[in-house]
Amino acid sequence: MGVVASLERPDALTDVLDMLKPRGRVFCCSEVSAPWAMSLPGDGYVRFHVIERGGAWLIMEGAKQVTPLASGDLVIVPHGKGHVLADSPKTKPVPITRLIKGKTDSIILLQHGGGGPQTMMTCCTFQFVGDYNPLLAVLPPWIHISSGREQLDEWLEPTLKMLAYEARHPRPGSETLIARLIDIILVQAVRLWVEEQPHNQGGWLGALRDPQIGPVLGRIHREPQKNWSVSSLAREVAMSRSIFAAKFNSLVGEPPLTYLTRWRLWQASKLLAEGTLSVGETALRVGYDSEAAFSRAFKRHFGHSPLTHRRGQVQTD
């Protein structure tokens, strides 16, 4: 028990939030009046919408549930699924591609509707960097952050207002500031969603909160280069090897060393993208003694060699 009591608990949630690294921008500022409805395609881009004034309904593609949105609300569609925003679930939507056709401004002002009650929105589109993030896999089809909750007033309302203002009144430096605000909004919203999930649930979120598996995830994330084994990971939290392995596999959905390998390779892909380390140096940094073994594992996972990945990333940067 002494080991567990003295164990520093690295924050695995911080690691996976840092992995998100959204590359995004404000897509459009909308001024719509009832009746209005617009459909956004399921093109793989992640989107979020800020309701500045008025209200709207969110209708997800293929879902029976519709979600009412009020002034000050934020909704995130994290998996790039098609959806509709409308003044009423009964209003026939117009594809947003038709509404913005011919517009070339970096931030589009979209005006649409029949002249009734007005709604103003700021809509952002972005992509997450990387192909592996255990958090993304457990996020729901949409995340609705309501402005009506008291504890959100300190950060949500002023941050969303600043985003909307910078989008509608661009100045030198606005693009950089908007990118930072998008980062803050996404991390805060996802963190809030995680905190609201039931503590007794299984899966990766359950593992993150577990008093034994959570610290082990943190160790793997912060020290992937260590020569971990199932036994050494189990000793970190004073568990027997068999009980630890079974619990880890049950919560995370894969064995400890499989998770370790996946994390090492993702970290390696980031280091190679930066272009400052050689393939051999990258291999050592993430825990491989042999460059050949690292190259085989990397190619098996990503479908191309570390050198190809490094050269391709450096050229695109």
Rounded to whole angstroms, what are the CA distances from 25 to 117, 122, 162, 277? 28, 11, 14, 30
**Euclidean distance between CA atoms 158 and 145, whole angstroms:** 14
Q: How is residue 155 annotated by DSSP? A: T
Residues 6+ positions from 21 with CB-CB distance below 8 Å? 128, 129, 130
Q: CA-to-CA distance for 20 and 129, rounded, in angstroms?
A: 6
Q: Tell me what pLDDT residue 8 has.
A: 41
What letter does residue 88 receive in the DSSP assignment?
A: S
Domain ranges of the chain: 2-13+203-316, 17-196
Helix (H) or strand (E) holding 294: helix 291-302
Residue-level pLDDT, tens digit, the chain, 317 residues: 333 333 344 467 777 777 777 777 888 999 999 999 999 999 888 899 999 999 999 999 988 889 999 998 999 999 889 999 999 999 999 999 999 888 877 788 999 999 999 999 999 988 776 656 778 878 899 999 988 766 565 777 788 889 888 888 888 988 888 888 888 888 888 888 888 877 766 678 888 888 899 899 989 988 999 999 999 999 999 999 999 999 999 988 899 999 999 999 988 988 998 889 999 999 999 999 999 999 999 999 989 999 999 887 544 43
Cα–Cα dist 31/143, whole Å: 23
Where in the chain does DSSP place strands (E)? 22-33, 37-40, 46-53, 55-60, 66-70, 74-77, 83-86, 94-95, 108-113, 118-128, 143-145
CA proximity to 134, closest of 197, 186, 243, 207: 207
pLDDT in the model for residue 29:
93
Nearest to 277 by CA among 312, 307, 241: 307
Q: Which CATH fold topology does 17-196 show?
A: Jelly Rolls (2.60.120)
Q: What is the DSSP string of 249-283?
A: HHHHSS-HHHHHHHHHHHHHHHHHHHT-S-HHHHH
β 66-70/108-113 pair status: unpaired
Give this prediction's pTM. Answer: 0.77
pLDDT at residue 305 in the model: 94
- Give me the amino acid identity at 284: L
Which pLDDT belongs to residue 63? Answer: 84
pLDDT of res. 17: 78
Residue 172 CB coordination number (10 Å): 6
Residue range 2-13+203-316 in CATH 3.20.20.70: no
* Cβ-Cβ contacts under 8 Å for 44 (sequence gap 6 or more): 80, 127
Q: Output the pLDDT for position 149.
A: 67
Instruction: Quote the pLDDT of residue 316.
Output: 40
pLDDT of res. 313: 54
pLDDT of residue 65: 85
